[in-house]
Amino acid sequence: MKQFTYLILALLFFACANETEKKPVSKKVESTKNKSNENYKIIGYAAGYEDYDFSKIDATKLTHINFAFANIVEGKAAFELETDAAKIATLIGLKKQNPDLKVLYSVGGWVWSDQFSTMAAFESSRKKFAQSCVDLLKKHGFDGVDLDWEYPGQRAEDNIFRPSDKDNFTLLLKTIREALDVQGKKDNTHYLLTIATGADQAYIDNTDLGEAHKHLDFINIMCYDYFNGWMHQTGHHANLHPSGKDKYDVNSGVQAVERHIKAGVPADKLVMGIPFYGRQWDQVSSAKDGLYEPANQGGIIVAYWDIVEKIKSGNYKKGYDESAKASYLWNATDSIFISWETPKEIELKANYIKQKGMGGAMFWEYSLDKDQELLNTLYNNLK
């Protein structure tokens, strides 16, 4: 009887998935409320610069893969690494595992966002870039484009920025959406357009998401790096709730989502970003457990699989901030503090996504969870 029930559920899943993909092409992207957790998105970024065999990706647990990154070269979207073409072909080939899989490419990121502001400032350059996005999509067989502009109107790694970024960002998305729709009409399909957004109020203030989302299929909120490499103080980098121990009230996933909704984005268009990595601070000055204490350097990125290996040394004491719903590690011997994501946090975030009626979850980045412990937890709780 159980086997028969599972068969019926599986048939219903694929029927729903196929029906979703048959949406007609339209000029505006409409928001559709999730009917059940079977429709939640699980979006994984795959970094082309990582030394990882993409054929090992379990596409059956993903709805979307975002290949990162394309750069902006002479005003056009372009791939720059010699290995990109082969890795992209491998990702597209994963559709043999999961025919409903959507593969997008992401433009920008922390390092390659320096050209966005100038390109977006003029109508002619926006149109040139938009057409190049379509051309690159068609060349490799992608299903859509993801923009990771870090950040409109703000200083980031080494980017140019200007006050007009706020309006130009929306105009850029509109122009890309129109170019994708023109091509989509020819191909009788709907090409996706998504963005990755910052989680803080500054990102909201420097964008017009209430208007911008109308041109987007969904938005991936980067709900991580709250305490990061710029901060010589330890803290949670991806806590779901505000921490009662954080006197500065830096950020949290719940606050990030609420900011986006207040800005005018429907909840079901929002995707919560989850890190498959932690942040590690060395040379921490602390007499207790290292949480919210000064350090002699900023928090460096450390992969989930690497954190698991570190724990085996026996030098790390596990801690949990109940108010923030966040885990951390303290190595008193070496004065090392690590903020990290565990299956416990993944389950809590999945429950919040369902409770809030959000579109699903995104994570950075696939190779950082090589044994799929975090991905399996996410999949089991959303699918």
Closest CA to 110 of 26, 228, 277, 190: 228
Task: Write the CA distances from 247 to 92, 291, 323, 326, integer angstroms.
Answer: 46, 12, 13, 16
Instruction: Report the candidate in 334, 258, 250 with the shortest Cα–Cα distance to residue 292.
Output: 250
* 315 in Cβ contact with 307 (< 8 Å): no
Report yes or no: 175 and 126 within 8 Å, Cβ to Cβ: yes
Let me know: does 296 contact 240? Beta carbons within 8 Å: no
Report the residue count for the chain.
383
Name the residue with tokens 């268009």. 269
What six digits make up the tokens of 227?
Answer: 């305490």
Distance, CA of 242 to CA of 222 (rounded, Å): 16
- Catalytic positions are 150
Q: Taking the CB of residue 244, how many other CB atoms lie within 10 A of it? A: 11
- Least Cα distance to 145 among 172, 118, 117, 114 occurs for 172
3-class secondary structure, 5:
helix
Tally of CA atoms within 13 A in the half-sphere of 350 that contains its CB:
23
